[in-house]
C-alpha cells in the first residue's frame, strides 16, 4: 500500500497549510491563531469542532458509516522560543518564536487525514482528532486529560507520532514499551560569601562550589545506576557574577534529568540532594534544590504497537519499518494520554538530519515530502482499527 492516492492529490494544499502554520508559530497556551486555523479547516471538512480544552486545544469529532468503536489521533500544535535562522520565504513572522520541532508538520498531517476521512468515511465508529497545545515543557497533554479529554471525547485507544530527522522519508520506527524518557527539571541556588576577586580566602566562592557540584552530579549516572539502565543528569544553565573582580554571593544552576524506570526516576532527586549538600558542606556553602517531575515516560502498549507496525509495513514496506528503535531520552507529554488509554507513539522519517536540520535548531524546517506519508498512516490506521460493518 503506497501513499493514499487521494491524499497525494492534495499534497500541494497540505504544503501550503504547513507553511502558513510555520509563518505563525505560537508557544504554550498562546496558540490562538493556530487553533483558529485548525478549527476553520476542520469545519470546512464538515467535522464537528470543539474548542477551549486546555485553553487553546481543539478536538474534531467525525462519525463514520455505522456504529463502532472510537479512536483518538493526537497532534501537538505549539512552537518554541527560538529565533528562526532558516532564511525561508515562509519563515516565522513572530519574533523569537519558531516551529523548530515540526509541530506545524504534525498538525498538517492530521488535518490531511481529517480531510480524507471526512470525504470517504470508510469506517464505522468515531474518530477524535486531538490538537494539543503546550507540548514543549508546559504539559498541555496532562491538562487536556485533567480537563476531561477522554470523558468528553471517549476513545478506546489513542495514537501519536513525531517527525524524526535523520530517518529517511518513508520510514517508520515503532516498538512496544518505552519510546521516550521521563522528563524532569531542577533549579539550584548555591549560596556562598561574596567578596573581592583578589582576596578569595575571605569569602566562600559559589562559582568554585558549583563547578564541583556539576562534576559530582555525573556520578549518579556512572556510579548510582545499573549500567543496563539509562539516566541523564544535565546541568544546562549556570548564572553567577557581574564583574571581573567580584566573587558573587550566589550562583544559580538549572537543568534536566531523564530516565525510564520508575525506580531510577524516584532515586534521582534524593541522590542529587545528598551530593549537593555534601559538596556544599565541604566548602562551607549552602544550597537550595527545587526539583519538579514533569512528564512520565512514553510507553506504548503491545497490541497497539503491533497494529501500528503492521499499518506502517503496508504503507512503506517491511524493510522500512524499524521495530526495535533505541528509545530516545527526549520527553513527550503524549505520555499522559498513554497512561489513561492504550495506544502507540511512532517516529515518522523526516529525512535530512544534517547540520541545522535537527529538532530544536534555529535552522530546522519540517520536510514537506513527509506530509502525505503521515496523513496516509493516520488514515489507514483509522480504517483498519474501525473496520466498516458489512
Distance between CA 364 and CA 99 in Å, rounded? 8
Q: What is the CA radius of gyration of the chain?
A: 23
Q: Name the 3-class secondary structure at 271.
A: helix
- DSSP letter assigned to residue 282: H
Instruction: Write the Ramachandran bin of 362: left for phi over 0, alpha for psi from -120 to 50, otherwise beta.
Output: alpha
- Look at residue 352 in the predicted model and tell me its pLDDT: 81
Residue 97, pLDDT score? 98
CA 134/CA 319 separation, integer angstroms: 35
Average pLDDT score, the chain: 96
pTM of the model: 0.94
Identify the CA nearest to 27 among candidates 110, 95, 122.
95
The per-residue pLDDT for range 163-194, each reduced to its tens digit, is 999 999 999 999 999 999 999 999 999 999 99
**Using one digit for the tens of pLDDT, what is the confidence trace for 121-177?**
999 999 999 999 999 999 999 999 999 999 999 999 999 999 999 999 999 999 999
Low pLDDT (below 70) residues in the chain: 1, 353-356, 388-390
Give the number of other Cβ atoms within 10 Å of residue 256's Cβ. 17
Q: Where are the beta strands (DSSP E) in the chain?
A: 48-51, 58-63, 70-76, 126-132, 157-164, 172-173, 177-180, 182-191, 195-196, 231-239, 246-247, 250-259, 286-295, 298-300, 321-322, 343-349
CA–CA separation, 281 vs 46, rounded Å?
65
Question: What is residue 68's predicted lDDT score, i.e. its pLDDT?
Answer: 94
Other beta carbons less than 10 A from residue 97's beta carbon? 20
DSSP state letters, 308-343: HHHHHHHHH-GGGEESSPPPBS---TTHHHHHHS-E
Amino acid at each position: 500500500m503506497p501513499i493514499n492516492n487521494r491524499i497525494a492529490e492534495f499534497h500541494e494544499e497540505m504544503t501550503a497549510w504547513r507553511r502558513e502554520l510555520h509563518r505563525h508559530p505560537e508557544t504554550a497556551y498562546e496558540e490562538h491563531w493556530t487553533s483558529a486555523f485548525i478549527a476553520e479547516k476542520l469545519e470546512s471538512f464538515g467535522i464537528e469542532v470543539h474548542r477551549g480544552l486546555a485553553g487553546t486545544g481543539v478536538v474534531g469529532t467525525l462519525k463514520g458509516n455505522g456504529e463502532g468503536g472510537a479512536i483518538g489521533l493526537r497532534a501537538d500544535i505549539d512552537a518554541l522560543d527560538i529565533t528562526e535562522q532558516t532564511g525561508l520565504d515562509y519563515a516565522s513572522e513572530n519574533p523569537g518564536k519558531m516551529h523548530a520541532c515540526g509541530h506545524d508538520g504534525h498538525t498538517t498531517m492530521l488535518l490531511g487525514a481529517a480531510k480524507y476521512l471526512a470525504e470517504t468515511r470508510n469506517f464505522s465508529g468515531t474518530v477524535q482528532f486531538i490538537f494539543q497545545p503546550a507540548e514543549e515543557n508546559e504539559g498541555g497533554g496532562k491538562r487536556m486529560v485533567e480537563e476531561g479529554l477522554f470523558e468528553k471525547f471517549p476513545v478506546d485507544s489513542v495514537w501519536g507520532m513525531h517527525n524524526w530527522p535523520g530517518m529517511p522519508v518513508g520510514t517508520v520506527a515503532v516498538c512496544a514499551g518505552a519510546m521516550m524518557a521521563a522528563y524532569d527539571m531542577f533549579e539550584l541556588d548555591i549560596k556562598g560569601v561574596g567578596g573581592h576577586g583578589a582576596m578569595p580566602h575571605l569569602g566562600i566562592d559559589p562559582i568554585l562550589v558549583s563547578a564541583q557540584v556539576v562534576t559530582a552530579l555525573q556520578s549518579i549516572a556512572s556510579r548510582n545506576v545499573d549500567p543496563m539502565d539509562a539516566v541523564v543528569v544535565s546541568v544546562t544553565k549556570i548564572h553567577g557574577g557581574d564583574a571581573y573582580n567580584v566573587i558573587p554571593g550566589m550562583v544559580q544552576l538549572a537543568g534536566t534529568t531523564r530516565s525510564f524506570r520508575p525506580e531510577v526516576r524516584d532515586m534521582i532527586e534524593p541522590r542529587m540532594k545528598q551530593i549537593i549538600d555534601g559538596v556544599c558542606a565541604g566548602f562551607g556553602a549552602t544550597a537550595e534544590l527545587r526539583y519538579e517531575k514533569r512528564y512520565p515516560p512514553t510507553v506504548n502498549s503491545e497490541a497497539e504497537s503491533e497494529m501500528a507496525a503492521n499499518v506502517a509495513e503496508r504503507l512503506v514496506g517491511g524493510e522500512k519499518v524499524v521495530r526495535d528503535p533505541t528509545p530516545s531520552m527526549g520527553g513527550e507529554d503524549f505520555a499522559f494520554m498513554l497512561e489513561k488509554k492504550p495506544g502507540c507513539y511512532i517516529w515518522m522519517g523526516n529525512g535530512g538530519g544534517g547540520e541545522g536540520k535537527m529538532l530544536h535548531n534555529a535552522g530546522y524546517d519540517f520536510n514537506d515530502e513527509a506530509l502525505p506519508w503521515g496523513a496516509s498512516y493516520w488514515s489507514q490506521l483509522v480504517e483498519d482499527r474501525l473496520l466498516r460493518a458489512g
